[in-house]
Amino acid sequence: MKKIEAIVRPHLLEAVKNALQEVGVVGMTVSEVKGFGRQKGHTETYRGSEYKVELVPKVKIEVALPEELAEGAVDAVLKTAKTGKFGDGKVFVSSLEDVVRIRTGEHGEQAL
Amino acid sequence: MSMRRRLFVSFGIGVVLMLGVTGLRSIARAQAPAAPVEPAATTAPPPTPVAAAPAAVPDPTGDNTGTASDVVVKDAKAPKLDEVMSTVGHSKIAINLMWTLLTGFLVMFMQAGFALVETGFCRAKNAAHTMSMNFMIYPIGMLGYWICGFAVQMGGVGGVAVLGGTPPLNSEFVVNLFGHPFGLFGMKGFFLNADVYDVGVFALFLFQMVFMDTTATIPTGAMAERWKWSSFLVYGFFISMFTYPLFANWVWGGGWLSQLGANFGLGHGHVDFAGSSVVHMVGGVAALAGAMVLGPRIGKYTKEGKPVAIPGHHIPMALLGTFILAFGWFGFNPGSTLAGGDLRIAVVATNTMLAGTGGAIAAMIYMMTRFGKPDPSMMANGMLAGLVAITAPCAFVTAPVAVLIGTVAGVLVCWSVFFVEGTLKVDDPVGAISVHGVNGAWGVLSLGLFADGVYGEGWNGVPGKVTGLFYGAPKQFLAQCIGTLTCFVFVFASMWVFFKLVDVILGNRVSVETELAGLDLPEVGALAYPEFVLSPGSSVGAFEAPKPLPAPSPAPAAATARVEAL
């Protein structure tokens, strides 16, 4: 099993979510997050003074899925979340040791 | 008639609507006295006093409502001239009193505008505190003004003819200098006690009270996010009982600035129609003194002294507040005639909105040209700056000049914000010093430049109309300069000394911990947004964060911490 965490632009959430569902993802967790990458945010002016917007708002999508779906899911995110400009975000893929469905107590892929 | 009147008094809102109708009626009636007998003669049904009710014929157009039968006379067939005239006179004063009260109610609502503007420009962690200051300054200021502020300001104003005379306000403390009387403060009307128990005086109190409270709430913006509640309370009484009433007496209460014309031939003396200097500049200069004594917010300046932007947390709130203020200004300026029968109110109201527009557009264009984006906070400041500036000259200038005054104000407020922040190093989160102080001064000076000499006959007891420098009366401009200078020196000195004294006795500023955590809980005991996820940029939570997590197993602990941090 794999866990995919995709950090994307907030306004692209809908597109990424739909693309993930198309490749067979059946559940996800979405949270509003803030962060920065290599660009370290950007500067704005407020009442004539500059200030840095270091922590830029993003959306984090967390998906747990069987091994064989992982590649397709990453592709789906890349296709929909990419604008080609700085700030498109990142996708983290990691191995998942176990999943437990709380209602039934099932473990592993059955619980996905 | 008198029975119906008594009924009116008992119906809050109804009073407003119904007397509006009475007002219109009396205008129609005012044209009648030339031939007082005729209307009675031409009215077909006999106008017996009791007959009106049983007819039960509705009047959907209103053409037949308000007729001669509404004028109470002893003998309907032979009305006497003095009977008719006293009804006309009563209606005239009724229109003025109603106008003064209604516009006063509008000005009262500006407190809500100030509250929203100031709170919107502050950070979320200080929102309840900023809102609470704006809320409580209303009752605190009113209490102080009722105790002695009104007496000091208006106790010697003499008869305000448009409000029916206000005969009791007849006691001014005067010193003689250079062979001329200098009125310093009034001495009648403390606690609005029995000797000023008069409808005209009470209307005047309500109207002047809301103006004073406008001044009192201006410094809460410049001093927000670090001002100690106890110091704020003392301030509220001080400005409403002494600083504001004294300067207001000198300009509006018959004091020495208003007599510069009568005593020294300087035009009409210091003229300030609705309070660019009396209300706004006093507030703005008090804000400057307060913000200087308080010092900047933690983090406002870098070590090199460069100002750092601290963006407000709720721009829509601030813009809504600006709109409420702009709406309230329709009470502020046109109401200052104290007379609904003074038709100059049309010019005053229109000039007011035009100047606000000039200010907003000028500030927007300036910011877009210089920084690429309009900056909503400066658009709001720009509109307010235009409104502040037109407050003094609104009754004395033409429409194009009103736009010009507003436009200048819109640019001036931008420069001033950068100057106060960058050069003076005074931290003013909402721009109150620039909007009210600087543009208040511009307002009274612009009157001295642009007053066009068509209005203000006999202003401050000087024959002729109010005329400015560009219309051939340079001495009027000189009077405006003296008024502006006096305002700055007197208000700055008295407020500076006051804040310094409070600093020694009570302390003006909250502790560093409180300021970093936000003033909401420590100072007023409630969070504005208890479930608000605060931005990581603010230091809120500095108290709680160092608590070590229970750490059940090493790996997930890190993950949990990250999730919580977000």
pLDDT confidence of residue B354: 98
- What's B524's DSSP letter? I
pLDDT confidence of residue B214: 97
pLDDT confidence of residue B547: 44
> Is residue B560's pLDDT more than 50?
no
Q: Are B271 and B479 in contact (CB under 8 A)?
A: yes
Query: Stretch B375-399: mean pLDDT, rounded?
Result: 97
| Neighboring chain A residues of B377 at a CB cutoff of 8 Å | 46-47
Residue B513 lies in a domain: no
Q: Are B394 and B355 in contact (CB under 8 A)?
A: yes
pLDDT confidence of residue B38: 41
pLDDT confidence of residue B406: 98
Q: Determine, for residues B311 and A46 on separate chains, whether the beta-carbon distance falls below 8 Å.
A: yes
Range in B10-24, B149-163, B372-386 with the lowest mean pLDDT: B10-24
Structure tokens at B104: 């006063």
Domain count, chain A: 1
d(CA B255, CA B308): 44
Within a 13 Å sphere around the CA of B71, how many CA atoms are in the beta-carbon half? 31
Whether residue B435 lies within 8 A of chain A, CB to CB, comes out as no
pLDDT confidence of residue B428: 97
Q: Determine, for residues A45 and B373 on separate chains, whether the beta-carbon distance falls below 8 Å.
A: yes
> Is residue B232's pLDDT more than 60?
yes
Residue B313 lies in a domain: yes
Same domain, B174 and B255: yes
Please state whether the predicted TM-score (pTM) of the whole model is above 0.80.
Answer: yes
d(CA B216, CA B245): 11
Residue B556 lies in a domain: no
Q: Select from B81, B76, B84 the least CA-distant residue to B29.
A: B84
- A40-45: long-range contacts (C-beta < 8 A, 24 or more apart)? A44/B309, A45/B309, A45/B371, A45/B373, A45/B375
Query: Stretch B253-273: mean pLDDT, rounded?
Result: 96
Q: Are B451 and B466 in contact (CB under 8 A)?
A: yes
Question: Testing the interface with A: which of B313, B315, B371, B379 to mutate, by most A Cβ within 10 A?
Answer: B371
> B222 to chain A nearest CA, in Å?
14
Domain count, chain B: 2
d(CA B118, CA B134): 8
Residue B539 lies in a domain: no
Q: Determine, for residues B308 and A51 on separate chains, whether the beta-carbon distance falls below 8 Å.
A: yes
Question: Testing the interface with A: which of B121, B122, B308 to mutate, by most A Cβ within 10 A?
Answer: B308
Same domain, B382 and B339: yes
> B212 to chain A nearest CA, in Å?
28
**Alpha-carbon torsion, ordered B411, B413, B418, B421, to 10 deg:** 180
**Sequence-distant (≥ 6) Cβ neighbours of residue B388 within 8 angstroms:** B276, B280, B409, B435, B436, B439, B440, B443
| Neighboring chain B residues of A34 at a CB cutoff of 8 Å | 535-536, 566
B4: confidence class by pLDDT, cuts 50, 70, 90: low
User: Would you tell me which residues 19-38 of chain A have a C-beta closer than 8 angstroms to some C-beta of chain B?
Assistant: 31, 33-34
d(CA B486, CA B268): 17
**Sequence-distant (≥ 6) Cβ neighbours of residue B410 within 8 angstroms:** B358, B359, B360, B361, B362, B363, B364, B366, B382, B383, B385, B386
> B379 to chain A nearest CA, in Å?
10
Of A47, A55, A60, the CB nearest to B375: A47
Q: Determine, for residues B311 and A50 on separate chains, whether the beta-carbon distance falls below 8 Å.
A: no
d(CA B412, CA B389): 10
Q: Tens digits of per-residue pLDDT, B62-101?
A: 998 988 888 989 998 899 999 999 999 999 999 999 999 9
| Neighboring chain A residues of B310 at a CB cutoff of 8 Å | 46, 51
pLDDT confidence of residue A54: 84
Q: Determine, for residues B421 and A49 on separate chains, whether the beta-carbon distance falls below 8 Å.
A: yes
- Residue in chain A closest to B363 (alpha carbons) equals A47
pLDDT confidence of residue B536: 43
| Neighboring chain B residues of A3 at a CB cutoff of 8 Å | none
Question: Testing the interface with A: which of B122, B123, B566 to mutate, by most A Cβ within 10 A?
Answer: B566
Q: Are B207 and B104 in contact (CB under 8 A)?
A: yes
pLDDT confidence of residue B556: 41
Whether residue A49 lies within 8 A of chain B, CB to CB, comes out as yes
B13: confidence class by pLDDT, cuts 50, 70, 90: low
* pLDDT cut 90: percent of chain B above it: 79
Query: Stretch B253-276: mean pLDDT, rounded?
Result: 96
pLDDT confidence of residue A50: 84
Give me the CATH number covering residue A68. 3.30.70.120
pLDDT confidence of residue B443: 98
Query: Is B261 strand, coil or helix?
Result: helix
> A50 to chain B nearest CA, in Å?
6
> Is residue B51's pLDDT more than 70?
no
- Residue in chain B closest to A59 (alpha carbons) equals B566
Of A33, A34, A45, the CB nearest to B309: A45
Of A34, A46, A60, the CB nearest to B309: A46
User: Would you tell me which residues 297-316 of chain B have a C-beta closer than 8 angstroms to some C-beta of chain A?
Assistant: 307-311
> A41 to chain B nearest CA, in Å?
13
Residue B517 lies in a domain: no
| Neighboring chain B residues of A46 at a CB cutoff of 8 Å | 309-311, 375, 377
Mean residue pLDDT of chain B comes to 88
Q: Determine, for residues A48 and B417 on separate chains, whether the beta-carbon distance falls below 8 Å.
A: yes
Q: Are B446 and B405 in contact (CB under 8 A)?
A: yes
Domain boundary among B505, B534, B557: B505
Length of chain B (residues): 566
Q: Select from B415, B390, B416 the least CA-distant residue to B404.
A: B390
**Sequence-distant (≥ 6) Cβ neighbours of residue B408 within 8 angstroms:** B358, B362, B389, B442, B446
In which residue are the tokens 């008090």 written? B286
Residue B557 lies in a domain: no
Of B309, B418, B431, the CB nearest to A50: B309
Q: Are A59 and A31 in contact (CB under 8 A)?
A: yes
Query: Stretch B109-119: mean pLDDT, rounded?
Result: 98
Whether residue B375 lies within 8 A of chain A, CB to CB, comes out as yes
| Neighboring chain A residues of B431 at a CB cutoff of 8 Å | 47
Domain boundary among B79, B107, B138: B79
Q: Tens digits of per-residue pLDDT, B288-334?
A: 999 999 999 999 999 999 999 999 999 999 999 999 999 999 999 99
Structure tokens at A35: 């962060």
Whole-number Cα distances in Å, A31 to A17, B222, B562, B563: 13, 37, 13, 10
Of A34, A44, A51, the CB nearest to B566: A34
Residue B545 lies in a domain: no
Low-confidence ranges of chain A (pLDDT < 70): none
> Is residue B564's pLDDT more than 80?
no
pLDDT confidence of residue B531: 73
Structure tokens at B340: 């609904």
Query: Stretch B500-518: mean pLDDT, rounded?
Result: 96
Q: Determine, for residues B378 and A47 on separate chains, whether the beta-carbon distance falls below 8 Å.
A: yes
- Residue in chain B closest to A46 (alpha carbons) equals B309
Same domain, B43 and B175: no
First to last CA, chain A: 9
| Neighboring chain A residues of B414 at a CB cutoff of 8 Å | 48
Domain that residue B264 falls in: 91-505
Structure tokens at B462: 């000087």
Query: Stretch B144-168: mean pLDDT, rounded?
Result: 93
Query: DSSP letter string over A22-91?
Result: HTT----EEEEEEE--TT--EEEEETTEEEEE-SEEEEEEEEEE-GGGHHHHHHHHHHHH--SSTT--EE
Under 8 Å CB pairs connecting chains A and B tally to 44
Q: Tens digits of per-residue pLDDT, B134-149?
A: 999 999 999 999 999 9
Q: Select from A38, A40, A39, A20 the least CA-distant residue to A29.
A: A20
Radius of gyration of chain A (CA): 17
The answer to whether ipTM exceeds 0.85 is: no
Domain boundary among B472, B489, B505: B505
Q: Tens digits of per-residue pLDDT, B473-487?
A: 999 999 999 999 999
B178: confidence class by pLDDT, cuts 50, 70, 90: confident
Same domain, B261 and B330: yes
> A49 to chain B nearest CA, in Å?
5
Whether residue B566 lies within 8 A of chain A, CB to CB, comes out as yes
Q: Determine, for residues A45 and B371 on separate chains, whether the beta-carbon distance falls below 8 Å.
A: yes
B532: confidence class by pLDDT, cuts 50, 70, 90: low
Question: Testing the interface with A: which of B297, B301, B375 to mutate, by most A Cβ within 10 A?
Answer: B375
Q: Determine, for residues B566 and A45 on separate chains, whether the beta-carbon distance falls below 8 Å.
A: no
Query: DSSP letter string over B265-321?
Result: --TTSS--SS-IIIIIIHHHHHHHHHHHHH-PPTTSB-TT--B-----S-HHHHHHH
Same domain, B67 and B101: no
B25: confidence class by pLDDT, cuts 50, 70, 90: low
Q: Are A19 and A8 in contact (CB under 8 A)?
A: no
Q: Are B184 and B211 in contact (CB under 8 A)?
A: no
Query: Stretch B369-385: mean pLDDT, rounded?
Result: 96
> Is residue B565's pLDDT more than 70?
no
Q: Tens digits of per-residue pLDDT, B435-470?
A: 999 999 999 999 999 999 999 999 999 999 999 999
Name the amino acid, one letter, at A63. V
B9: confidence class by pLDDT, cuts 50, 70, 90: very low
Q: Determine, for residues B537 and A55 on separate chains, whether the beta-carbon distance falls below 8 Å.
A: yes
Residue B516 lies in a domain: no
Q: Select from B136, B45, B37 the least CA-distant residue to B78.
A: B37
- In sequence order, which ranges of B336-469 are alpha helices (DSSP H)? 345-371, 376-391, 399-418, 432, 439-450
Helix axes B199-217, B244-252, angle to 10 degrees: 130
Whether residue B537 lies within 8 A of chain A, CB to CB, comes out as yes
Question: Would you tell me how many other CB atoms lie within 10 Å of the CB of residue B327?
Answer: 15
Give me the CATH number covering residue B319. 1.10.3430.10
Q: Are B244 and B282 in contact (CB under 8 A)?
A: yes
More confidently predicted of B342 and B49: B342
First to last CA, chain B: 70
B543: confidence class by pLDDT, cuts 50, 70, 90: very low
pLDDT confidence of residue B538: 43
Q: Determine, for residues A48 and B377 on separate chains, whether the beta-carbon distance falls below 8 Å.
A: no
Same domain, B379 and B399: yes
Same domain, B49 and B106: no
Domain that residue A21 falls in: 2-111
